[in-house]
Amino acid sequence: MRATRQLREAGQSLWVDNITRTLLKQCTLAAYIDQDSVTGLTSNLTIFDKAIEAGTDYDAEIATCERAGGSDGPTSRCSSSRP
């Protein structure tokens, strides 16, 4: 039995503190849940800001929002408002 499953059975909750689109798109999160007994996830604005600044996962959506007139990120004027 994996140590992470033993922790869960002992009443501990395992959380991932770094949500990314890649984590979701590549089904890594699903594997964490199924194989590693992860029960929660969280992020914060600093992590999100760094993901936008350092990566390319959000570039296309930001460009779409800017063309739609939204310069402050996803707004009601943009085609999508998901993180």
Provide the 3-class DSSP secondary structure of residue 41. Answer: strand
Q: What is the pLDDT of residue 1?
A: 77
Task: Choose from 31-35, 40-44, 51-55 the range with maximum mean pLDDT.
Answer: 31-35
Strand-pair partners of 16: 41
Residue with tokens 């059975």: 9
DSSP structure class, residue 83: -
Nearest to 5 by CA among 41, 39, 36, 40: 36
What is d(CA 35, CA 78) in angstroms, rounded to the nearest whole number?
A: 37
Whole-model pTM?
Answer: 0.57
CA 65 to mean position of chain CA atoms: 20
Q: What is the pLDDT of residue 77?
A: 45
